[in-house]
Amino acid sequence: MPRTLEGQITMEKTPSYFVTREAPHRIFNMNRNTKLIVVVRDPVTRAVSDYTQTVSKNPGLPSFQNLVFKNSSKGLIDTSWSAVRIGIYSKHLENWLRYFPLSRLLFVSGERLVTDPASEMERVQDFLGLKRLVTNKHFYFNQTKGFPCLKKPEGSSRPRCLGKSKGRAHPHIPSDVLYKLRDFYRPFNLKFYQMTGQDFGWE
């Protein structure tokens, strides 16, 4: 981690921190005043997105419905599959709250980051104690990409969208499989809403 000078903030992003058991303890030991930002989206969509990413690198992978069940006739979800496990946010959060107070964590809605990126960025800037410099002016909806992209209103640089691996089409998953997965996550989601004091509307 580089040294942070007066007036600077050092930021680091690793998606797996939130779900890594040792991470809270290690980060706490490094700097207990660290501010933590977690982007969360509907765990069902997240699991499908995760699978889409894996299958793009490994086209021979079994189907989503083959991987998601431990016992498909009983509808038992396989919680040892990382695409499922990562979305049990309340369990991961418990681990962080052993070291950090809730006030040190900001939960960004992955859904709102797409539908209203400027408001989520407003929350991020407030949380970090920064001036609200990134606003609505910095985003536009790109029809081709189907997602918001960045523009610099004050500069001449070209607008920038995220790369091809972000915002890919998801495969079709049978609706009964999605219902079972949704049922599985419901209690964990409700617990997560209680713990964070935020309703992410994933029902």
* Among 69, 121, 148, 196, interactor with ligand PPS by CB under 6 A: 148
Query: Which window, 84-92, 95-103, 161-169, 192-200, contacts ligand PPS (CB under 6 A)?
Result: 161-169
Least distance (Å) from ligand PPS to the CB of residue 73?
A: 29
155 binds ligand PPS (CB under 6 A): no
Residues 127 and 37: beta-carbon distance below 8 Å: yes
Q: Give residues with Cβ within 8 angstroms of 83, minimum separation 6.
A: 46, 47, 50, 51, 54, 67, 68
- Please give the C-alpha separations between residue 68 and each of 38, 41, 56, 83, in angstroms, as whole numbers: 24, 18, 17, 8
Position among 25, 32, 152, 166 found at the interface with ligand PPS (CB under 6 A)? 166
Question: What would the x/- binding string for ligand PPS be over residues 99 to 118, using CB under 6 A?
Answer: --------------xx----
Rounded to 10°, the helix 89-97/175-196 angle is 20
Q: How far is the CB of 3 from ligand PPS (least distance, A)?
A: 25
**Among the candidate windows 63-71, 78-86, 99-107, 165-173, which touches ligand PPS by CB under 6 A?**
165-173
Binding residue for ligand PPS (CB under 6 A) from 49, 109, 189, 196? 49
Which stretch in 94-102, 127-135, 159-167, 195-203 sits in contact with ligand PPS by CB under 6 A? 159-167
Give the per-residue SS3 of 88-141. CHHHHHHHHHCCCCHHHEEEEEHHHHHHCHHHHHHHHHHHCCCCCCCCHHHEEE
CB of 6 to ligand PPS, least distance (A): 30
Interface residues with ligand PPS (CB under 6 A)? Answer: 15, 49, 52, 113-114, 147-148, 162, 166-168
